[in-house]
Amino acid sequence: MRKNKFNHVVGFTLVEIMLGVVISSIMMAAMYTTYNVVNNSYSQVVDRAKISRSGRDIVGMIMRDIRLAGFKYYYGVHKENENRRENGDPYIPREDYLKYQGLTSSVYDSHDPIIIIKDQLGNKPQHGLDAALVTPGDTNDTSKHEKMPYEDYCCDKIHIVYGDFNENHINETHSPETGKPNQPYKRYRVTYYAMPRSGKDGKYYGVYKSKESWAQAVGEQDGFWVSDNVVCPECFVGELIRDHLVDMEFIAFNQHGRIIDPPPRPDAPSRKDLYNIRSVDVRLTFRSKKEFYRFDKLDAEGNIIPRLIKGLGDRTSATTDKYLRDSVVVTIHTRNIGQ
């Protein structure tokens, strides 16, 4: 405001007000643009961090299990236990006496430490108590796996078997049918696999995990894999670990650092390498939940340039959407596998 020659206060002119409004609008637009750019950059960084963190967490789980593959617990010689043995009282054997299912057994019966199945979704129903849940030939029988077309490979599956011990299991019931106590030696099988999942934002997969136990009663010569939470309270089937998976890849290496291709299986000629696995390369690729890129990447002619997703070998795919895809790759050395 200003005063005239009679010392009267007068207001702003219309031009001054309009000029102030324009300047204020320009300043607010600049501030909003700056905020929007910073916010988008922050969201992208957060989305990328979430994908990376989730990938590392799952790789950490897989790493612990692969390092346990082939582990066998030895109770050893303990004075109190040896005294019970000499006196004819119930005692704990010095080493694992569970039946070993190997040779030419099926993939789903095998006790071999690591079995990798390439390009296969889903997981066959468990044996033993769960075998009656699916009738062969039923449309719900997930033992029928279809290999994905080349342009849509996903995903590898891995079975990991290791031993454990729990002295308290000897006092627990083996199964409602037999009523016999469990053996203190345990054997677990952990399976990581993928299943299709999709939503409004497109097609993707989920990482699932199952944990089974080999149930074998004291005095029995045979057993079966179970996931029943009565016989095996720590077991579970089909637990979703992480969504928005793009691909999951496992590659086994032998003692000479060479790729074992095809991966060894108990029911195939490549069985001879089952105990030569010295390390496993793992790659997990995840996708952002929301669109990450604002613009398509175009070439000089205006065509969309595909974004490549690199695999560990020749397994490379391309995408043209605006989702971010990030991979976590790690080499895991086995500790308990040998001839």
Q: Is the pLDDT of residue 124 over 50?
A: yes
| Cβ neighbours, 10 Å, residue 306 | 12
What pLDDT digit, counting tens, does each position of 54-78 carry? Answer: 788 899 999 999 999 999 888 888 8
What does the buried/exposed string (b/e) look like for 58-92 if buried means 16 or more CB atoms within 10 Å of the residue's CB? bbeebbebbbbbbbbbebeeeeebeeeeeeeeebb
Q: What pLDDT does 3 receive? A: 54
Burial of 276 (0-12, 13-18, 19+ CB in 10 A): middle
Q: Is the pLDDT of residue 144 over 80?
A: no
Quote the CA–CA distance of 260 and 270 in Å, as a whole number.
9
Q: What pLDDT does 33 receive? A: 79
Highest mean pLDDT among 42-46, 157-161, 166-170, 284-288: 157-161
3-state secondary structure of 81: helix
What pLDDT digit, counting tens, does each position of 212-270 carry? Answer: 998 887 778 888 888 887 778 889 998 999 888 989 999 999 988 899 988 888 877 66
Average pLDDT over residues 106-133: 73
Specify the residue for token string 């979704």: 121
Q: What pLDDT does 163 receive? A: 92
Average pLDDT over residues 102-125: 84
Average pLDDT, the chain: 78
| Banded pLDDT at 11 (limits 50, 70, 90) | low
3-state secondary structure of 19: helix
What pLDDT digit, counting tens, does each position of 166-224 carry? Answer: 776 555 555 555 566 667 888 999 999 999 887 666 778 999 999 999 888 777 888 88
The proportion of the chain whose per-residue pLDDT surpasses 90, expressed as a percent, equals 22
Q: What pLDDT does 128 receive? A: 41
Q: Could you tell me the CA-to-CA distances from 332 to 8, 117, 182 in Å, in that order?
A: 86, 17, 33
Tokens representing residue 329 in the block: 């790759």
3-state secondary structure of 211: strand
Average pLDDT over residues 256-285: 86
Q: What is the DSSP string of 122-185?
A: S-PPPSGGGGGGS-TT-TT-TT---PPPGGG----EEEEEEEEE-GGGGGSBS-TTT-PBBPSE
Q: Is the pLDDT of residue 25 over 70?
A: yes
Q: Is the pLDDT of residue 279 over 90?
A: yes
Task: Please work out, in degrees rounded to the nearest 5, the angle formed at the alpha carbon of residue 54 by the alpha carbons of 243 and 310.
Answer: 80
| Banded pLDDT at 135 (limits 50, 70, 90) | very low
Q: What pLDDT does 339 receive? A: 61
Average pLDDT over residues 133-161: 54
